[in-house]
A and B are shown apart, each in its own frame.
Chain A
């Protein structure tokens, strides 16, 4: 049983598809979850079709969507870190790791969820995961929290093996779908197609909703 969970992702909606079910389960079990979201996804390409947002209004839209998603999941401690989308890898890595260290010192999480550096495709994901790992490495090995990582690069199973943590989140799938829907500027197009497929009980998609998978980070 965890005592405190810290989730660190760079973009609003990074939590939606692969992690929101796990977050909902932790919260239903009475475990506090803090979500550090590094940016507001200012550089997102989905604006609605026809567009209802633009490059300048998107941050505010996505901020409200993120708050809506947190409400759906029951996250009470959302920390928007004010960095800018697509610039994380250009920040000073030491500074970024320090920000994570501050949160770890304050919250003393037993579990941290982030992206697996090297296996998470988007440069912001990689830099985010890297900063978390750097921060955790500063802690003596015996005192480190567990770090469960999301990986989805095309070579992740080949290089990392199968994920070692698989969670059945079907009991909270309504909350998960509500979370995905909350990010509607980014997911509305996708959801329209997905709803039909879910109604048809399409197995592969159902499994993506019902199960979430993580790779526990192996230090050294």
Chain B
């Protein structure tokens, strides 16, 4: 993955506008967060292969970045994004890695279901 460059990522987000796409959205602070530090409140959420169609999508911020997708009746967004990749299957993978390089958030868009 490469560090996010809005000028490269935004056109790819635009490519999926108006198409039925599959979404992977994930946030996590890890299953061990409250084991290593009992003061940490462990929370996360995960959707894999949510089928959506968005009318606009935008990535913004000064880094880490935020991305929002406007869907018919609502929104999907992720914050803390640092890296991106258009993989061999033409899926847009965006992820946020913390200072140790551990994944903390992911937002991915694909025209075919994720395996």
Binding site for B on A (CB under 8 A): 43-51, 54-57, 86, 121-124, 153-154, 189
Number of B residues whose C-beta is below 8 Å from A? Answer: 26
| Interface residue from B26, B35, B97 paired with A51 (Cβ < 8 Å) | B97
How far is A123 from B1 in the complex, measured between Cα atoms in Å?
Answer: 29
Report whether B24 and A51 are in contact in the complex, using a CB–CB cutoff of 8 Å. Answer: no
How far is A48 from B97 in the complex, measured between Cα atoms in Å?
Answer: 10
Report whether A123 and B97 are in contact in the complex, using a CB–CB cutoff of 8 Å. Answer: no
- Secondary structure dominating the interface of A: loop
Report whether B100 and A86 are in contact in the complex, using a CB–CB cutoff of 8 Å. Answer: no
Please give, as numbers and ranges, the residues of chain A lying within 8 Å of B31 by CB-CB distance.
Answer: 86, 121-124
Report whether B101 and A55 are in contact in the complex, using a CB–CB cutoff of 8 Å. Answer: no
A53, chain B: closest CB distance, angstroms? 9
Report whether B32 and A189 are in contact in the complex, using a CB–CB cutoff of 8 Å. Answer: no
Report whether B95 and A54 are in contact in the complex, using a CB–CB cutoff of 8 Å. Answer: yes
B46 within 8 A of A: yes
Segment at the interface with A among B51-59, B70-78, B103-111: B103-111
How far is A123 from B32 in the complex, measured between Cα atoms in Å?
Answer: 10
Closest to A48 in B: B101
Report whether B85 and A54 are in contact in the complex, using a CB–CB cutoff of 8 Å. Answer: yes
12 A-B pairs with CB atoms under 8 Å apart are: A43-B28, A45-B104, A47-B103, A51-B97, A51-B101, A54-B85, A55-B26, A56-B87, A122-B31, A123-B31, A153-B35, A154-B38
Closest to A46 in B: B102
Report whether A55 and B95 are in contact in the complex, using a CB–CB cutoff of 8 Å. Answer: yes
A-facing mask of B1-14, CB < 8 A → 1, else 0? Answer: 10000000000000
B30 within 8 A of A: yes
How far is A47 from B2 in the complex, measured between Cα atoms in Å?
Answer: 13
Report whether A189 and B46 are in contact in the complex, using a CB–CB cutoff of 8 Å. Answer: no
How far is A195 from B49 in the complex, measured between Cα atoms in Å?
Answer: 41
B67 within 8 A of A: no
Once A45-B30, A45-B103 are accepted as A-B contacts, the answer to whether A55 and B97 lie under 8 Å apart by CB is no
| Interface residue from B24, B35, B46, B101 paired with A86 (Cβ < 8 Å) | B46
| Interface residue from B32, B35, B108 paired with A56 (Cβ < 8 Å) | B108
Please give, as numbers and ranges, the residues of chain B lying within 8 Å of A48 by CB-CB distance.
Answer: 101
Please give, as numbers and ranges, the residues of chain B lying within 8 Å of A86 by CB-CB distance.
Answer: 31, 46
Report whether B103 and A56 are in contact in the complex, using a CB–CB cutoff of 8 Å. Answer: no
Report whether A189 and B101 are in contact in the complex, using a CB–CB cutoff of 8 Å. Answer: yes
A-facing mask of B35-71, CB < 8 A → 1, else 0? Answer: 1001000000010000000000000000000000000
Report whether A121 and B35 are in contact in the complex, using a CB–CB cutoff of 8 Å. Answer: yes
Once A86-B46, A121-B35, A154-B38 are accepted as A-B contacts, the answer to whether A47 and B87 lie under 8 Å apart by CB is no
How far is A203 from B115 in the complex, measured between Cα atoms in Å?
Answer: 44
Once A55-B26, A86-B31 are accepted as A-B contacts, the answer to whether A46 and B93 lie under 8 Å apart by CB is no
Report whether B97 and A49 are in contact in the complex, using a CB–CB cutoff of 8 Å. Answer: yes
Report whether A56 and B104 are in contact in the complex, using a CB–CB cutoff of 8 Å. Answer: no
Q: Which of A50, A51, A57 has the most CB of B within 10 A?
A: A51
How far is A22 from B85 in the complex, measured between Cα atoms in Å?
Answer: 41
How far is A48 from B101 in the complex, measured between Cα atoms in Å?
Answer: 7
Report whether A121 and B32 are in contact in the complex, using a CB–CB cutoff of 8 Å. Answer: yes
Please give, as numbers and ranges, the residues of chain A lying within 8 Å of B83 by CB-CB distance.
Answer: 51, 54
